[in-house]
Amino acid sequence: MNNLERYLPAMVWAKTYDRSALSNDLIAALIVTIMLIPQSLAYALLAGLPPEAGLYASIVPIMLYALFGTSRALAVGPVAVVSLMTAAALGDIAAQGTMGYGVAALSLAGLSGVMLLGMGLLRLGFVANFLSHPVIAGFITASGILIAVSQMKHILGVSAQGHTLPEILAELLAHLGQTNPVTVVIGGLAVGLLFWLRKGLRPALVRLGVPRGAADIAVKAGPVAVVVLTTLAVWLFKLEAADVKIVGTVPQSLPPFTLPSFDLGLLRQLLLPAALISIIGFVESVSVAQTLAAKKRQRIDPDQELIGLGAANIGAALTGGFPVTGGFSRSVVNFDAGAQTPAAGAFTAIGLAFAALALTPLIYFLPKATLAATIIVAVLSLVDFSILRRSWAYSKADFAAVFVTIALTLGFGVEIGVSAGVGLSIALHLYKSLRPHIAEVGQVPGSEHFRNVRRHQVITHPNIVTLRMDESLYFANARFLEDAIHNRVAGDGAVEHVVLLCSAINEIDLSALESLEMINERLREMGVTLHLSEVKGPVMDRLEQGHFLSELSGQVFLSQYTAVQTLTGAA
């Protein structure tokens, strides 16, 4: 693959694009477009932006990802978690509904896009590995709760602000007396209908003899039916006169050309939120893309995905949108609907452009309670408290990371929650590597294998101590190895040889090498010989560059079995 095809993956799949792929992509695009119209409007509401911003953020970004992305099924656009993070980031900068808020949203998308693009060009896709799955699961669960609770103000028809669970609940309780009964009825019915459409419609249609394919399409189009029904109800019964909040006038136009702000003060304020949105969005996107690609034995390039998502966010910043990423639900729908190539995304963008151009007058009477219901039903599927039980049973350290992430996200907001979760995960990993597992091993009878003396019945020799370190040696844990060897040998006068089994050591840095020299010298002074066994090739290459091997009191053995045979005189 040449460099142009590497950075423009559309050139690869376009070479084999045929009528069959076109047909499948068009069908998938139709289904996803129907699904995305209410979703895009709803996520703009969640981000604190006008509804048209959701449509704008779903047009050009999808097209740019289709050119630069490597996943053939990923659908890019506004998603719940990123929309919540956008609202949280902008809430302290400008008031919702002001021009400053909209410009800040554009700037946030642009900054996120530049970060993602830069990471992709520098091939830094591995950065996502710093976010462990438990932390991501905890963050998404807490975000789902926050999002659902934050939308209750639209279901109740009251005003309520806040970005943390205590703030939102306090605001809701303070304004509970202002609840609009008509809005509650609309919102409650919309929530109930959407839940039934998701869980009960498909089985009901199948029982009536409807083909499964048609039933699936009906389920995916269900939210549009709820939008239509509630909009008609508001229009027919003139419910806006009963103070039911509606979407109102939405500009009937294609995405406008916009420019983010280049004010350094604003960009400094947005720097951390943009970084967190970039990483969280990339992790969510690449996880979905890899899962769907594996089902068709395809592969994606995480570094190129960064470039694709970066281009999409820059496109959002230039066309009146806000930060976007690959969405789980829309991507699964796109995949299940038979999308063959990223062209399905481009066709979806065309469908959404038509909706923005021609259909927006039809949503004038769309109640905001319906959009809130759409968000609530979508995000509650993200809430997974079972991660707490599973992590507690498997690893108390992982449980701590999940619990802290959930608690701080709910109590102090998304930025503090995810930052603390990432920090705790890294701290726990460093703590584990500071105190690596070191096992004394012996020979399994009748074999050449060596196992932990505390777990297996093994053969040992009083004058030989073999220690296996299950971690790479570096500056932070080298002293721990020094202490472990000294504590084992100091009280045992029978020991003549110490063999360090290096089968699990992938790296030895300079500080650790100096520690090995110190261990070698101390053991020599005690009359004990230090040996190494099963040293990996790259590690051996490093050791041979210095003088350690020439000063080693013992030998380097190819295998632990050879070491024991030689040292016991059995060889």
- Give the Cα separation of 103 and 101 in Å (integer): 6
Q: Give the model confidence (pLDDT) of 544-553 as tens digits.
A: 988 999 999 9
The per-residue pLDDT of the chain, averaged, comes to 90
- Give the Cα separation of 322 and 78 in Å (integer): 8
Give the pLDDT confidence score for residue 220 in this predicted structure.
Answer: 77
Model confidence band, residue 419 (pLDDT cutoffs 50, 70, 90)? confident
- Give the Cα separation of 47 and 6 in Å (integer): 34
Beta strand ranges found along 381-463 (DSSP E): 438-443, 450-452
Residue 571 has pLDDT above 60, yes or no: no
- Give the Cα separation of 506 and 537 in Å (integer): 9
CA-based radius of gyration for the chain: 30
Model confidence band, residue 556 (pLDDT cutoffs 50, 70, 90)? very high
- pLDDT, mean of residues 171-194: 94
Q: May I ask the CATH class of domain 438-567?
A: alpha beta
- pLDDT, mean of residues 55-62: 95
Give the pLDDT confidence score for residue 509 in this predicted structure.
Answer: 93
Are the CB atoms for 4 and 304 separated by under 8 Å?
Answer: no
Model confidence band, residue 97 (pLDDT cutoffs 50, 70, 90)? confident
Model confidence band, residue 2 (pLDDT cutoffs 50, 70, 90)? low
- pLDDT, mean of residues 468-472: 93
- Give the Cα separation of 337 and 26 in Å (integer): 10
Residue 1 has pLDDT above 60, yes or no: no
- pLDDT, mean of residues 415-444: 85
Residue 118 has pLDDT above 70, yes or no: yes
Residue 345 has pLDDT above 60, yes or no: yes
**Residues β-bridged to residue 443:** 450, 459
Model confidence band, residue 43 (pLDDT cutoffs 50, 70, 90)? very high
Residue 506 has pLDDT above 70, yes or no: yes
Residue 439: Cβ-neighbour burial (10 angstroms; 0-12, 13-18, 19+): middle
Domain ranges within the chain, ordered by starting residue: 18-151+158-246+265-426, 438-567
Looking at residue 246, the DSSP 8-state letter turns out to be: B
Residue 49 has pLDDT above 90, yes or no: yes
Residue 327 has pLDDT above 80, yes or no: yes
Residue 129 has pLDDT above 80, yes or no: no
Give the pLDDT confidence score for residue 299 in this predicted structure.
Answer: 83
- Give the Cα separation of 113 and 109 in Å (integer): 6
Q: How many CA atoms lie within 13 A of 269 on its CB side?
A: 16
Buried b / exposed e along 384-423 (16+ C-beta atoms within 10 A): eeebbebbeeeeebbbbbbbbbbbbbbebbbbebbbbbbe
**Lowest mean pLDDT, pick from 28-32, 148-152, 258-262:** 28-32
Model confidence band, residue 393 (pLDDT cutoffs 50, 70, 90)? very high
Residue 507 has pLDDT above 90, yes or no: yes
- pLDDT, mean of residues 93-106: 92
Residue 502 has pLDDT above 70, yes or no: yes
Q: Give the model confidence (pLDDT) of 511-533 as tens digits.
A: 999 999 999 999 999 999 999 99
DSSP assignments along 485-519, one per residue: HHHHHHT-TT--EEEEE-TT---B-HHHHHHHHHH
- pLDDT, mean of residues 563-570: 89
Give the pLDDT confidence score for residue 158 in this predicted structure.
Answer: 92
Q: Give the model confidence (pLDDT) of 209-237 as tens digits.
A: 888 878 877 887 788 889 999 999 999 99
Q: Report how far apart, in Å, the C-alpha atoms of 4 and of each of 15, 67, 298, 304 are.
A: 14, 12, 20, 12
Model confidence band, residue 265 (pLDDT cutoffs 50, 70, 90)? very high
Residues 6+ apart with CB under 8 A from 305: 69, 70, 71, 120, 125, 282, 285, 286, 289
How many CB atoms are closer than 10 A to CB 345? 34
- pLDDT, mean of residues 418-431: 80
- pLDDT, mean of residues 493-499: 94
- pLDDT, mean of residues 3-21: 83
